[in-house]
């Protein structure tokens, strides 16, 4: 494993998303206070109001057919609740729980779009020209998915750096500047990136969601362990074998499933629990929640870690292989950036620009 150096923007006074245009002022922006949401309809109303204030649609589609959902800016309580943490057992070798609290209020100041689905093998092939997936037509796990349209399965077995490279290439296809710059790239098997120097440029290009954005989008105003409720019986998500809060009602697939096979949350997002764990922009820091104040604004995990150390990048959502507890909304998991494995994929995100009006 090569060490990775992560370069952070040096001028704190500069906006990560660029300076505003001169002599203009933004239009009023609708935000979603998820800390006081009373029903799933509150999330949908805020989403619709945000789209109206931005002059955009809730659902959009890019040049490769990828569908994205608009997520409003807003506030929510981040971290695992006592109910979620109560599910953790000492014998659980896949899950720790100590780094998921204390819960704290987070403010996201920028609306963003995020993939309705996890990036599929077809979309990956369109952009990257190769398919590293274990559960692909020619992959080592092809016997598990012989009757499935593997192009609609999520891409997996990609490193964190591969996911960033995909976002950069997709940005180029869409005529957007890249959000992260990769240099000193070293590749391993199947051209997968095993190490690189990464510099955050910011802007409106495609990127991975931050942990806070991911959890805000996943919860969609809910406070339960899953966006579909307090229980998981196997019928609502492709999580590993086992159930939470009741008996198991559906079989364990033991492989990925076609994206969108289960119900969406109130923001219109599918597979936020299970299928593949999803790379986030942040790397894992066990103490990132500790010592925070009552309100944290636009948190980014890599700001809390020193350069030059081996990093475990954050994964959210659980997978087809992980246990049910690891799929809870507040659960944090992590893995080395390289190599990719069959239980990890990703979805894209991008910050949405706010319309500007002449005074």
pLDDT tens digit sequence for 239-294: 987 888 888 888 889 999 999 999 999 999 999 999 999 999 988 766 666 655 56
CB 270 within 8 A of CB 262: yes
CA distances from 67 to 63, 78, 146, 156 (A): 10, 26, 26, 19
Judge whether 162 lies within some domain: yes
Closest among 308, 230, 323 to 277, alpha carbons compared: 323
Judge whether 1 lies within some domain: no
Percent of the chain with pLDDT over 70: 81
Judge whether 207 lies within some domain: yes
Sign of CA dihedral 284, 285, 290, 293: negative
Rounded Cα distance, 153 and 131, in Å: 12
Sign of CA dihedral 317, 270, 41, 214: positive
The CATH number assigned to the domain holding 332 equals 3.90.1580.10
Percent of the chain with pLDDT over 90: 58
Our measurement of the distance from residue 83's CA atom to the centroid of its chain's CA atoms, rounded to an integer in Å, reads: 23
Number of domains into which the chain is organized: 1
- pLDDT score for 208: 97
| Phi, psi for residue 324 in degrees, rounded to 5 | -65, -40
- pLDDT band (50, 70, 90) for residue 348: very high
| pLDDT 10s digits, 29-42 | 668 999 888 888 99
pLDDT exceeds cutoff 90 at 308: no
- pLDDT band (50, 70, 90) for residue 81: confident
- pLDDT band (50, 70, 90) for residue 122: very high
Judge whether 186 lies within some domain: yes
- pLDDT band (50, 70, 90) for residue 83: confident
CA-based R_g, the chain, Å = 19
pLDDT exceeds cutoff 90 at 25: no
Whose tokens are 């955050």? That residue is 200
| pLDDT 10s digits, 215-237 | 999 999 999 999 999 889 889 99
Judge whether 193 lies within some domain: yes
Average pLDDT, stretch 160-174? 97
- pLDDT score for 32: 93
> Which of 89-103, 118-132, 193-207, 283-297 tops mean pLDDT?
118-132
For residue 242, give its domain range. 6-357
Judge whether 24 lies within some domain: yes
Judge whether 84 lies within some domain: yes
CB 51 within 8 A of CB 58: yes
Judge whether 206 lies within some domain: yes
Angle at the Cα of 273 (from 341 to 95), degrees rounded to 5? 65
Rounded Cα distance, 52 and 4, in Å: 42
- pLDDT score for 175: 96
């Amino acid at each position: 494993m090569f060490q990775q150096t992560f370069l952070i923007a040096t001028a704190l006074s500069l906006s990560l998303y660029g300076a505003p245009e001169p002599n203009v002022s933004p239009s009023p922006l609708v935000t979603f206070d998820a800390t006081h949401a009373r029903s799933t309809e509150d999330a949908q109303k805020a989403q619709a109001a945000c789209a109206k204030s931005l002059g955009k649609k809730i659902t959009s589609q890019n040049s490769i057919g990828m569908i994205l959902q608009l997520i409003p800016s807003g506030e929510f309580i981040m971290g695992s609740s006592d109910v979620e943490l109560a599910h953790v057992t000492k014998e659980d070798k896949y899950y720790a729980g100590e780094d998921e609290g204390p819960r704290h209020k987070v403010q996201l100041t920028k609306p963003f779009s995020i993939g309705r689905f996890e990036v599929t093998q077809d979309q990956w092939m369109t952009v990257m020209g190769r398919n590293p997936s274990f559960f692909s037509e020619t992959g080592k796990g092809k016997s598990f998915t012989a009757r499935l349209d593997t192009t609609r399965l999520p891409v997996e077995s990609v490193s964190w750096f591969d996911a960033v490279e995909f976002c950069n290439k997709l940005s180029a296809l869409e005529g957007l500047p890249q959000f992260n710059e990769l240099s000193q790239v070293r590749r391993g098997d199947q051209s997968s990136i095993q190490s690189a120097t990464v510099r955050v440029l910011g802007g409106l290009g495609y990127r991975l969601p931050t942990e806070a954005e991911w959890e805000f989008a996943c919860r969609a105003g809910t406070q339960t362990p899953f966006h579909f409720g307090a229980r998981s019986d196997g019928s609502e998500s492709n999580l590993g074998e086992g159930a939470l809060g009741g008996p198991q009602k559906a079989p364990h697939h033991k492989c990925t499933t076609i994206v969108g096979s289960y119900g969406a949350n109130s923001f219109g997002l599918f597979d936020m629990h299970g299928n593949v764990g999803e790379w986030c922009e942040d790397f894992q820091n066990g103490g990132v929640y500790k010592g925070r104040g009552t309100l944290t604004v636009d948190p980014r995990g890599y700001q809390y870690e020193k350069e030059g150390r081996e990093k475990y990048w954050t994964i959210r959502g659980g997978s087809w292989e992980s246990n049910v507890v690891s799929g809870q909304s507040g659960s944090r998991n992590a893995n080395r950036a390289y190599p990719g494995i069959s239980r990890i994929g990703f979805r894209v995100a991008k910050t949405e620009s706010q319309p500007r009006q002449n005074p």
